[in-house]
């Protein structure tokens, strides 16, 4: 509920200025929908932007050109080396023994997985719901393909919480399966949608544990396989994956800014990550965050804002499988001459913004809460303590205040890391509102001492 301004805002002159800026942002942004136009270009020119890929290199060049044409200052790349994993041509999972012989399950390799030998891996399937259940299975797991089938908990309102409660299977399933003597790991996709689209995402091996191939099953394929296992004691599948990890590749974060008019050495960062998985177009994850950052700066320029401190866009590379961009930015020697005031990231999809998280102490939170009525006016008054985002967390660890855009989250995992994550799933108004929230927050941070 929107309380009267007087209840919440102590600094009324600053607030009056901020209201004028907000009005300009809305008037230009909601009519021009610049964020969506940029996203259309990004997803058309570089739909696949996995670290080390040609698409990622194309995206780096494209957004640098965008920043140049938008007239940002100090546009440059900051080089980093990134992991380079490739999916390869084939990925298949076929039932080879049981009543349903020959049936193909919908599957995709998890990012970082080793491939199978040429003929694939053929083995019996053992379904479990947790690492604990796998441990209890003991020797039964030996030689099997371990099928982790615990769904995200749909009863949780916050889908990120549901994701957090299931994603251990995706990240750590292969290592746990290998420790138990398994030969491969299949993981139910991290999704709440009722479809058969497999969702990829990063996995990790563990030192001293054999690397076995791992892949995600579409939710319906997971249900189907589970039903088969309940009908007949034994189901054998053949898993073929051609993925591989190549040597690290050169890549870059891309940076541009409006220089501060009073304290150019003080920097406020607005950011997203430029890389995405090689499924769909990374429209929500995180094309949305990238174009919102670009659009936020564009709108502030267009509104004639001359910020006291520098407002910078950083489009990080390699959030998905290594976070080298975020770490590289924090460690770059250029940072030594700069003073970062705050960083924000949008990496939770381009849905209608509901607020933002504040990563800092409670006094920071209460100072930011003074601005709540301004954000209420765009439906984004939910200001809550929480992490800002993976790319900016290395700067948060240095004690710098971080913020994360908090959009409506019900649909996010329907699209996340899958062929579903395409431009048509993004609403131009919802996307733009996120850019406006970021522009407003950057403006407020720039003009105030937080």
**Residue closer to its own copies (CB basis): 25 or 203:** 25
Pair of tokens at residue 79: 């080089």
**Residue closer to its own copies (CB basis): 139 or 194:** 194
The residue annotated as part of the active site, out of 319, 320, 345, 438, is: 319
164 interacts with its own copies by CB under 8 A: no
Query: Binders of its own copies among 177-216, rule CB under 8 A?
Result: 192, 194
Pick one of 1, 13, 89, 233: the residue that binds its own copies (CB under 8 A): 1
Query: CA 302, CA 28: separation in Å to the nearest integer?
Result: 8
DSSP-derived letter for residue 202 is B
269 interacts with its own copies by CB under 8 A: no
Pick one of 26, 57, 81, 364: the residue that binds its own copies (CB under 8 A): 26
* CA neighbor of 270 nearest in space, from 33, 35, 428, 23: 35
226 interacts with its own copies by CB under 8 A: no
Q: Which ranges in 320-391 belong to alpha helices (H)?
A: 324-331, 362-369, 372-376
Residue 9 pairs with which residues in a beta bridge? none
3-state DSSP of 388-403: CCCCCHHHHCCCCCEE
Pick one of 12, 27, 54, 232: the residue that binds its own copies (CB under 8 A): 27
Phi and psi based region of residue 213 (left: phi greater than 0; alpha: psi -120 to 50; beta: remaining): beta
Query: Binders of its own copies among 103-162, rule CB under 8 A?
Result: 154-157, 159
Query: Binders of its own copies among 345-364, rule CB under 8 A?
Result: 352, 354-355
Q: Give just the sign of the alpha carbon dihedral 407, 409, 414, 416.
A: positive
Pair of tokens at residue 106: 């919908």
- As measured in angstroms, the least distance from the Cβ of 193 to its own copies is 8
- As measured in angstroms, the least distance from the Cβ of 395 to its own copies is 24
Q: Which ranges in 121-280 belong to alpha helices (H)?
A: 131-137, 159-164, 168-179, 219-231
Pair of tokens at residue 356: 């933002």
Pair of tokens at residue 204: 């990790």
Residues 6+ away with beta carbon under 8 Å from 78 = 252, 253, 254, 255, 328, 329, 332, 334
Strand, coil or helix: what is 255? strand
Q: At what angle do helices 428-447 and 12-32 cross, to 10 degrees?
A: 150
Q: Which residue has the tokens 């746990």?
A: 176
**Residue closer to its own copies (CB basis): 25 or 141:** 25
Pick one of 372, 373, 418, 420: the residue that binds its own copies (CB under 8 A): 372
Query: Binders of its own copies among 391-450, rule CB under 8 A?
Result: 408, 410-411, 414, 427-430, 433
Pick one of 14, 30, 100, 259: the residue that binds its own copies (CB under 8 A): 30
- As measured in angstroms, the least distance from the Cβ of 189 to its own copies is 16
5 interacts with its own copies by CB under 8 A: no
Pick one of 369, 419, 447, 450: the residue that binds its own copies (CB under 8 A): 369
**Residue closer to its own copies (CB basis): 288 or 330:** 288
Does the annotation mark 319 as catalytic? yes
Region of 6-14, 78-86, 312-320, 369-377 interacting with its own copies (CB under 8 A): 369-377
- As measured in angstroms, the least distance from the Cβ of 12 to its own copies is 21
Q: Per-residue x/- marks for its own copies, 293-332, CB under 8 A?
A: ----------------------------------------
The bridge status of strand 107-109 relative to strand 214-217 is antiparallel
Query: CA 73, CA 267: separation in Å to the nearest integer?
Result: 13
Phi and psi at residue 411, to the nearest 5°: -95, -10
- As measured in angstroms, the least distance from the Cβ of 427 to its own copies is 5
Residues known to be catalytic: 319
Q: Which residues bind its own copies (CB under 8 A)?
A: 1-2, 26-27, 30-31, 154-157, 159, 192, 194, 352, 354-355, 369, 372, 377-379, 381-384, 408, 410-411, 414, 427-430, 433
């Amino acid at each position: 509920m929107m309380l009267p301004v007087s209840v919440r805002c102590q600094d009324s002159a600053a607030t009056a200025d901020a209201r004028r800026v907000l009005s300009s942002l809305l008037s230009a942004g909601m009519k021009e929908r610049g964020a969506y136009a940029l996203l259309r270009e990004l997803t058309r020119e570089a739909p696949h932007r996995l670290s080390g890929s040609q698409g990622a290199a194309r995206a780096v060049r494209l957004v640098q050109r965008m920043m140049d044409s938008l007239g940002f200052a100090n546009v440059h790349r900051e080089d980093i080396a990134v992991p380079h994993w490739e999916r390869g041509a084939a990925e298949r999972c076929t039932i080879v023994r049981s009543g349903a012989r020959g049936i193909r399950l919908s599957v995709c390799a998890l990012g970082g997985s080793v491939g199978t030998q040429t003929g694939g891996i053929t083995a019996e399937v053992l379904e479990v719901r947790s690492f604990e259940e796998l441990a209890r299975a003991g020797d039964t797991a030996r030689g099997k393909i371990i099928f982790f089938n615990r769904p995200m908990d749909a009863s949780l309102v916050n889908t990120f919480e549901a994701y957090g409660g299931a994603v251990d299977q995706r990240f750590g399933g292969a290592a746990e399966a290998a420790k138990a003597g398994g030969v491969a790991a299949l993981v139910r996709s991290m999704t709440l949608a009722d479809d058969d689209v497999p969702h990829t995402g990063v996995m990790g091996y563990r030192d001293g544990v054999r690397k076995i191939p791992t892949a995600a099953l579409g939710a319906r394929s997971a249900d189907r396989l589970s039903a088969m296992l309940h009908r007949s004691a034994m189901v054998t599948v053949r898993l073929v994956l051609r993925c591989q990890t190549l040597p690290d590749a050169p890549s870059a974060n891309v940076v541009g800014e409006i220089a501060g008019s009073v304290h150019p050495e003080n920097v406020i960062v607005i950011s997203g990550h430029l890389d995405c998985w090689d499924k769909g177009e990374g429209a929500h994850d995180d094309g949305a965050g990238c174009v919102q950052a670009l659009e936020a700066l564009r709108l502030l320029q267009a509104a004639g804002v001359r910020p006291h401190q520098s407002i910078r866009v950083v489009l990080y590379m390699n959030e998905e499988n290594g976070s080298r961009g975020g770490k590289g930015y924090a460690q770059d020697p250029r940072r030594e001459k700069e003073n970062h005031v705050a960083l924000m990231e949008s990496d939770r999809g381009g849905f209608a913004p509901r607020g933002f998280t504040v990563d800092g102490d409670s006094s920071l939170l209460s100072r930011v809460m003074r601005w709540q009525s301004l954000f209420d006016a765009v439906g984004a008054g939910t200001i809550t303590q929480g992490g800002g985002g993976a790319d900016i967390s290395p700067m948060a660890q240095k004690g710098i205040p971080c913020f994360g855009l908090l959009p409506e989250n019900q649909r996010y995992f329907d699209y996340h890391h899958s062929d579903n994550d395409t431009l048509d799933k993004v609403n131009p108004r919802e996307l733009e509102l996120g850019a406006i929230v970021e522009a407003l927050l950057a403006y407020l941070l720039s003009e105030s001492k937080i």
